[in-house]
Amino acid sequence: MATIGVDQLVRLEGVAVGYEGVAALRDIDLQIAPGELIGIVGPSGCGKTTLLRSLLGEPELYAGTAEVASHTRVGYVPQVETVDWNFPITVEQVALLGSWRTNRWLPWTSRAERSRARVVLAQLGIADLADRPIRALSGGQQQRTFLARALIRSPDLLLLDEPTSGVDIKTRHEILHQLAALNSAGVTVVLTTHDLNGVASHLPRLIALGEQTVLADGPPSEVLQPKILERAYGQPMLVVQSGHETYVLPVPEEAPGAHGDDLPPPEVVSVVAAPDRDDA
Amino acid sequence: MLEPFEFGFMQRAMIAATLVGSVTAAVGVFVILRRLAYIGHGLAHSIFGGAVVSFTIGFNFFLGASIWGAFSVFLINQAARRRQIGGDAAIGIVTTAAFAIGIAVISRARSFTRDFEAALFGEILGITNQDLYVTTGMVILIALVLFLLWKPLVFITFDNDVAESYGISVRWVEAIFSLALAATVVAALQVLGVTLIAAALVIPPVVARMLTDSFPRMFIIAVFIGALTGFIGVYVSWFVDVSSGATVVLVQSAVFALALSWGVLESRRGLRAARRTERLAGLERSLND
């Protein structure tokens, strides 16, 4: 059995993972190097969260080898939909949960911990919200609060489940810029996303999931291909290239040629100018 | 006014009610935020079964009831892990079965009707010095558990799904908390009785939740309300000649009603202020036009 290489942070080989004896993903081969920025894409229920959480060693491992380099500090940001927003807790208190191991047997936090929390909140532009209850936050502020909880541990590997879901375009850009800045600072970032145009196409590496396994792994130009997307989503997709930008458009079921009888199958189309998808 | 303090049994009752009121509220904060209010009710019934069996076989009440409670929690956790069953159904099955065992034992040995009533409705005025020492010891132990496990408990209560990825052993922390909850119910059994424990676990934390949006503050307010209403309930019961356990819960219910009314008034006042601001803004706009 091969062990994880020095230039690898994560290595999955022939992995099958799932819950309660049922495999959600099979035959997963994946390697992540330090400093990468990766997006996991695929339709709802394809196992994006399961793959992300398999990097935490959480789902049951039924086959293969899953390894994360020793001494890797992992920060995990869950989907905000799973959080109880009526819980009586402030932004700073959420951030401080991330450092619970410091003085773990004491109920209170040290001044140094609180200072560190303030620094992280300031870094994310939400220092002024420190004492605000989480139920009074906007979508973007919620994301940043949970990002702060992950960052307070100074992670080497940051895992984010749908970090841009439910936020407006401006906030989405801000979150992506913050993640890019963290990545530039050396943090390896892996995120899941539904947003092929606004998020996935801007990432340097994508992993497309479908049919319970990895269908493609590489740069967006290789992964966002009509055939791969049709396998993943079970629907024909049109891919439009405009300069460095890639746009994925679903082909309506009733559209002539959608199933490839009368017209050639959907393919990559290059255009000189494409509509700004952000305005859509 | 000071008459109740002249009697030893009343002094012990007031101390026990204050201790039990504070510890049920403290544990109750985690119970209600995890939406487990039902478990307090169920566990009290389950532990009643243990108390009856302990009495019948001549075993120590506290020890027997605690072991029974811990075993019930273990069974609930095991059953709840199966998705086909779920937490609420597991609580319903295990605790009613344990309660039924107690009833079955009583129906076979009809001699202890009085003890049966004491366990159901509490018998705080019958607390001996030894009972008080045991109750105090249990309260200190539970407080120590909450103190040491505060951070992982808060994490799990807030975000159970993610806690494991932050290095918290969710199973262990949940198991220890369940034992602390069982111990709380045992400690409260003699003061409040099976039928009223759930109220003492739920009402003070709910009132505290209505008053603050900060978890540490909610905890402190809940413990304060639990202790104060425990003390006042027993004190008042001397004058009104009503069961002490029932009086404690009625005082807590009155505090809840006050907090609810205050909340309703506050939100109406806020609504009126918002409408006034809106009207003034409209007036200003029309003047400017």
d(CA A219, CA B11): 76
d(CA B102, CA B286): 74
pLDDT tens column, A7-51? 899 999 999 999 888 899 999 999 999 999 999 999 999 999 999
Residues of B with CB under 8 A from a CB of A: 33, 83, 147-148, 150-152, 154-155, 157-159, 161-162, 164-168, 209, 212-218
When comparing pLDDT for A189 and B130, which is higher? A189
Residues of A with CB under 8 A from a CB of B: 20, 53, 56, 58, 74, 76, 78, 82-84, 87-90, 93-94, 97-98, 100-101, 104-107, 133, 135, 153
| 3-class SS shares of chain B: helix, strand, coil, % to 5 | 90, 0, 10
Q: What is the ipTM of this complex?
A: 0.83
Interface test with B, best of A97, A108, A149, A151 (most B CBs within 10 A): A97
Tell me which residue of A53, A79, A48 sits closest to A143, measured CA to CA: A79
Put simply, the answer to whether B213 touches A133 (Cβ < 8 Å) is yes
pLDDT at A279 over 50: no
Put simply, the answer to whether A78 touches B215 (Cβ < 8 Å) is no
**Contacts with A105 from chain B: Cβ below 8 Å:** 148
| Angle between helical axes of B244-288 and B8-33 (0-180°, round to 10) | 50
Size of interface A-B (CB pairs under 8 A): 63
pLDDT at A277 over 60: no
Least CB-CB distance to A98: which of B161, B166, B217? Answer: B166
> Which single residue is written with the structure tokens 């005025």?
B125
pLDDT tens column, A75-89? 999 988 888 888 999
Task: Give the model's pLDDT for residue B111.
Answer: 60
A149 → chain B, closest CA residue: B166
Q: Going by C-beta distance under 8 Å and a sequence separation of 6 or more, which residues neighbour residue A8?
A: A31, A32, A33, A34, A69
A53 → chain B, closest CA residue: B165
Q: Identify the domain containing residue B161 by its residue range.
A: 3-288
Put simply, the answer to whether B151 touches A100 (Cβ < 8 Å) is yes
CATH of the domain at B236: 1.10.3470.10
Rounded to the nearest 10 degrees, how much is the dihedral formed by the CA atoms of A61, A62, A64, A69?
10
| One-letter amino acid for residue A236 of the chain | P
Most confident of A3-7, B114-118, B137-141, B271-275: B137-141
pLDDT at B115 over 90: no
Put simply, the answer to whether B158 touches A87 (Cβ < 8 Å) is yes
A 10 A CB-CB count for B271 gives 10
Task: Give the model's pLDDT for residue B157.
Answer: 93
Task: Give the model's pLDDT for residue B42.
Answer: 84
Q: How far is B33 from chain A (nearest CA, A)?
A: 7
Least CB-CB distance to A83: which of B33, B147, B159? Answer: B159
Phi, psi angle pair for B182, to nearest 5° = -60, -45
Least CB-CB distance to A89: which of B165, B166, B215? Answer: B215
Predicted TM-score (pTM) of this structure: 0.84
The whole-chain average pLDDT of chain A stands at 87
Q: CB burial class (10 A; 0-12, 13-18, 19+) of residue B59?
A: middle
The total number of structural domains that make up chain B: 1
Quick one: what percent of chain A has pLDDT higher than 90? Answer: 62
Interface test with B, best of A94, A104, A106, A142 (most B CBs within 10 A): A104
